[in-house]
Amino acid sequence: YVCGWKGAKKIPDTCWHKLVSAGLEGLARPARGALGQDVLRYESSQDPKLEVEAGETPQRPEPVPLPRWTKEDAAPEASPALPLTPSAISSAGEPGEGELPEQDVVPPLERADASRFLRGNLVHALLQHLPEIDADKRAQTARRYVAAKGKELAGKDREDIVAETLAILEGGEFAPLFGPRSQAEAPVAARISRAGKPALEFNGQIDRIVELENEVLIVDYKTNRPPPKRAQDVAPLYRRQLAAYRQALRRIYPGKKVRAALLWTDGPHIMAMPDELLDEAEADIMKL
């Protein structure tokens, strides 16, 4: 069967349907299709006829023994993996304070100060784009960007944003996260096995990641205003997200240590997440 579809535009003479129709001209005959539409039908009878010699008996094929598996019971179906969604992560463990992400805990009298939100947005943009700029041009590029997008801020505030952001990019133990070998918004997927329970399937996206010789560093951006001062005060949901990333990356990079941190854009500053806190969060996830 050869058929086509006609839209509002005129069908060009060089379309494949017209080429096939032209090729069948003189060979096909007009007919009615199953739905009553006009069609061209090309058919031919079998020629020559099949000849069978008198007295010839077709041979029956030898029986073939059935394979053994046709007589065996099917193996038990494996339990389907559970998707490790953000909602599932948030419900793991016992609920506590700071469970909801991105909570605005700024005192009421300070909420009218929109500069806190603008500051966070500027920092996030700089952290996203400056790593792609040559190191000797970052400061100039950052000042030009903050001056254009942060006109509402005082000059000192703009300089503080540039200085603090550059300090994160160019110094400290997590500086490689913003180097030439790093990757932004990296997708990650993994299947996490659990003893006696269905496996967990995890899909996520890491804000920044870098693979080094002996370790993998990851950082997740957060915009809470103001951010917690201690790692143990971080919302349980955030700790479980980092623990899930760590679990996935340990399977992707076996033998390498995975270190995780949160980058609070209200500051900005990086907060390394201790392994013992991630171990506790991981235990909560495994109980799902």
Question: pLDDT tens across 45-76, in order?
Answer: 767 666 766 666 767 788 889 999 999 998 87
Verify that 262 and 200 share a domain, yes or no.
yes
Q: Which of 170, 185, 212 is the last residue of a domain?
A: 170
Q: Which of 155, 170, 185 is the last residue of a domain?
A: 170
- Mean pLDDT for the chain overall: 81
Query: What are the tokens at 129?
Result: 């784009």
Verify that 138 and 192 share a domain, yes or no.
no
Verify that 235 and 164 share a domain, yes or no.
no
75-84, 119-128, 131-140: range with highest mean pLDDT:
131-140
Verify that 151 and 230 share a domain, yes or no.
no
Does 25 reside within a domain? Answer: no
User: Over the stretch 159-194, which tens digit does the pLDDT of each residue have?
Assistant: 988 998 888 888 777 788 888 778 888 898 888 888
Average pLDDT over residues 193-219: 87
CB-based burial label for 37 (10 Å; 0-12, 13-18, 19+): exposed
Does 32 reside within a domain? Answer: no
| Nearest alpha-carbon partner for 123 in 260, 239, 230, 221 | 221
User: In 130-226, which ranges are continuous DSSP H helix?
Assistant: 138-149, 155-170
* Contact between 120 and 266 (Cβ < 8 Å): yes
Q: Which of 170, 194, 216 is the last residue of a domain?
A: 170
